[in-house]
Chain A
Amino acid sequence: MNFIVCIKQVPGTTEVKIDPKTNTLIREGVESIVNPFDSYAIEEGLRLKERIGGKVTVISMGPPQAESALREALSMGCDEAILLTDPAFAGSDTLATSYTLACGIGKIGEFDLVICGKQAIDGDTAQVGPGIAEKLGVPAITYVKKIEEINETRIKVERMMEEGYEVIETGLPALITVVKEINEPRLPSLKGMVRARKAEIHMWKASDIACEKSRIGQAGSPTIVNRIFSPSPRKGGEILVGDPEEQAQKLVDKLRQARVI
């Protein structure tokens, strides 16, 4: 079976700095990593391959330096890597990104299952996975925490909910996004790292993937970002002092004042 894993290279921190002029991430000086949720997607792809056989292709859209994220995926055991990279892709929002990735997957050809992380830790939108499924015209199941069964034609998964989980079955091909509960990603192996260093990463430009110019990059991105900011941290609370009785009295007074009780 053919498994396709979509990954994104992200800054290795959740405290990203934003360029106030362009409203985009400042990537300089920040170490880049594979989006942690995508590591679970890679691992699940590899486990499926080990379980039922097949091939794992990893795909990403990004600047040329995103190649290192793909090499990490190869060092973990993925068979092939594709980087969609073209200045024309720059400024893509989630709509354009999912369209572009879907076009890339279209060029790969036949696939049975696309696996994505539930979201990226930089943007946190969780939109690209379902977006790709929409463009590919396949069912999407988000927040998968376990693949119960899979065969040539069907997949049955557990989908994480706030309380409990749903069991969903659908036909293949399909797309799933996975949560961290699904597995524990392996470390790359030394032999894998050596192999990955020499491996060829396929670099595909816009002209390689049969996409419409109006639907990629800035042109294909209707999202307008007015301002990005970190919410100001919560101020320290008030600590009530005195013996327990006093404290309780003070607390009740405060709550009454605030008309909570």
Chain B
Amino acid sequence: MEYFLSEEQKMICELARRIAEEKIKPVREHYDETEEFPWPIVQELAKVDLCGVYIPEEYGGTGGGVFELCLAVEELCKIDGGIALVLAATALATFPIMLFGNEEQKKKYLPDDAAGKKLAAFALTESGAGSDATAIQTAAKKEGDSYILNGTKCFITNGGEAQIYIVIAMTDKTKGSRGASAFIVEKDTHGFSFGKKEKKMGIRGSATRELIFNECKIPQDNLLGREGQGFIIALKTFDVSRPGVAAQALGIAAGALEDAINYSRERVQFGQSISSFQAIQHLLADMATEVEASRALIYATARMIDNDPKIRVTKEAAMCKLLASDVAMKVTTDAVQVYGGYGYMREYPMEKRMRDAKITQIYEGTNQVMRNEIALALIKEAARAKK
């Protein structure tokens, strides 16, 4: 489908495709097997300016927005759905600074993110607070001109590798969901350490780690927005970051589809290529239709966000993530089916895509939470229309 991308957007796609093909494809198996962190790829992305595609030019980026981020993530994920997270997860923790940071904070942190010198990570989840984010226990106590953080965050993408962490902590437990605040915590801050590194089913080239705060003292200047704004910051961040996760799912699915089509044309059974069988053709047709539908929804939502940052996009962002991740799971499963026995073997890139796809139905809000948010928005909209 023609999406009428600008020249610069086409350049982003071309560059991301080249990085994926030339730099990531030869090593994707390595990172999946070893679970090492792909620092050399971070450097490659940085060198070609792909780390700053969504960051304004005045802060060292190339001045694009959510759409540009989605394009880059999609292309990278066609080849590897895990490695691209160095970019997508950094964006997740950079958006709150872009949206709620003051000028000093933006000047201090955005240029390094844009240049790929530093990675960032967003820390909300705790062992007892997943979908129920308001149950977080990590606390921040004001002491003079500092805050003292105590608590443990888990499943943090880029954890241990990132330099900059956005941490949501309770500043006033009595206020419930209005008692949380967002903080910028730098790696190497005294009292901030890392717990176990998770062993995962997929996206194994991405680091997922526990963050431990033990009497961790941070300057009050590192408060993001105002006290009590923590969950608002988190929710607004998800509104702009979820299309990025959706783009990750889209890329995984699109890569699987592309490979499945090519494979079906080469694989011969009963004396003909399996692409000549209607059973395979219909599978491919459904996969392609669903991939294109995800893409259209993601692109439209990303353009909506970039054209008017004031429009509420909670519903659309949730729809993107819901649709694209469910499609990715289905399409990668079907792509393995097209590959047959070979699809199940780790020698081929297909089973990995299926493993990588699964997480997109879970993180940045489970798809069950996505449905809750969509339904809530629908009901609110209807109620507002009645008034």
Q: How many interface residues does chain B have, given as a range?
A: 10 to 19
Q: Does B198 contact A (CB under 8 A)?
A: no
Please tell me if the beta carbons of B47 and A193 are within 8 angstroms of each other in the complex.
Answer: no
Q: Is B12 an interface residue (CB 8 A)?
A: yes
Flag whether A190 is at the interface (Cβ < 8 A). yes
* Contact present for B18 and A187 (CB under 8 Å): yes
Q: Tell me if A194 counts as interface (CB < 8 A to partner B).
A: yes
Chain B residue with the shortest CB-CB distance to A75: B11
User: Does B166 interact with chain A (Cβ within 8 Å)?
Assistant: no
Interface flag for A191 (CB, 8 Å): yes
Q: In the assembled complex, how far is the CB of residue A183 from the closest CB belonging to chain B, in whole angstroms?
A: 14
Are B11 and A193 interface neighbours, CB within 8 A? yes
How far is A187 from B43 in the complex, measured between Cα atoms in Å? 12
Cα–Cα distance between A191 and B115 once the two chains are bound (Å): 12
Q: CB distance B15 to A186 under 8 Å?
A: no
In the bound complex, residues from chain A placing their C-beta under 8 Å from that of B49 are: 189-192
Q: How far is the CA of A195 from the CA of B65 in the complex (A)?
A: 19
Central interface residue in B11, B50, B62, by most chain A CB within 10 Å: B11
In the complex, what residues of B have CB within 8 A of residue A194's CB? Answer: 8, 11, 62
Q: Is B53 touching A190 in the complex (CB atoms < 8 A)? A: yes
Q: Is the CB of A202 closer than 8 A to any CB of chain B?
A: no
* Residue pair A187, B62 in contact (C-beta under 8 Å): no
Using an 8 Å CB-CB cutoff, how does the interface string of A175-190 with B read, 1 for contact, 0 for none? 0000000000011111
Q: How far is the CA of A186 from the CA of B45 in the complex (A)?
A: 12
Query: Which residue of chain A has its CB nearest to the CB of B46?
Result: A189
- When distances are taken between beta carbons in the complex, the residues of chain B under 8 Å from A187 are 15, 18-19, 22, 44, 47-48
Within 8 A of A (CB), among B32-62: 44, 47-50, 53, 62
On chain A, the number of residues with a Cβ less than 8 Å from chain B's Cβ atoms is 10
Q: What 0/1 pattern do residues 28 to 71 of A give for CB contact below 8 A with B? A: 00000000000000000000000000000000000000000000
- Chain A residue numbers with a CB within 8 Å of B7 are 197
Return B39 CB to nearest CB of chain A, in Å: 17
- Of all chain B residues, the one with the shortest Cβ separation from A191 is B49
Question: CA–CA, A253 to B170, complex, Å?
Answer: 89
Q: Cβ of A191 and Cβ of B62 under 8 Å apart? A: yes
Alpha-carbon distance between A194 and B12 when the two chains are bound, in angstroms: 10
Residue from B15, B22, B44 within 8 A of A190 (CB atoms)? B15
Looking across the interface, which residue of chain A has its beta carbon closest to that of B50?
Answer: A190
Does the CB pair A188–B62 fall under 8 Å? no
Assembly CA distance A190 to B72 (angstroms): 12
Q: Do residues B12 and A190 form an inter-chain contact, with CB atoms below 8 A? A: yes
B11 near A190: Cβ-Cβ < 8 Å: yes
Question: Nearest-CB distance from A37 to chain B (Å)?
Answer: 18
Q: What is the bound-complex CA distance between A114 and B66, given in angstroms?
A: 43
Shortest A214–chain B CB gap in Å is 43
Closest Cβ of chain A to B57, distance in Å, is 9
A193-B15, A197-B7 given; A186·B47 CB < 8 A: yes
Contacts of B53 in A (CB 8 A): 190
Q: Residues of B contacting A192 with CB < 8 Å?
A: 49
Report Cα–Cα, A190/B18, bound state, in Å.
12
Bound Cα distance from A194 to B53, whole angstroms: 12
Q: How far is the CB of A231 from chain B (nearest CB, A)?
A: 29
Q: Which of B7-27 contact A (CB under 8 A)?
A: 7-8, 11-12, 15, 18-19, 22
| Min CB–CB distance A191 → chain B (angstroms) | 5
Task: Collect the chain A residues with CB atoms within 8 Å of residue B50's CB.
Answer: 190
Contacts of A95-125 to chain B: CB distance below 8 A: none
Query: 30 A-B contacts, Cβ less than 8 Å apart?
Result: A186-B47, A187-B15, A187-B18, A187-B19, A187-B44, A187-B47, A187-B48, A188-B15, A188-B48, A189-B15, A189-B47, A189-B48, A189-B49, A190-B8, A190-B11, A190-B12, A190-B15, A190-B48, A190-B49, A190-B50, A190-B53, A190-B62, A191-B49, A191-B62, A192-B49, A193-B11, A193-B15, A194-B8, A194-B11, A197-B7
What is the interface of chain A, defined by CB distance below 8 A to chain B?
186-194, 197
Q: Which 9 A-B pairs have the closest CB atoms?
A: A190-B49, A189-B48, A193-B11, A189-B49, A191-B49, A187-B48, A190-B62, A187-B18, A190-B15
| Known pairs A188-B48, A190-B50, A197-B7 / 4 extra A-B pairs, C-beta < 8 Å | A187-B15, A189-B48, A190-B12, A190-B53
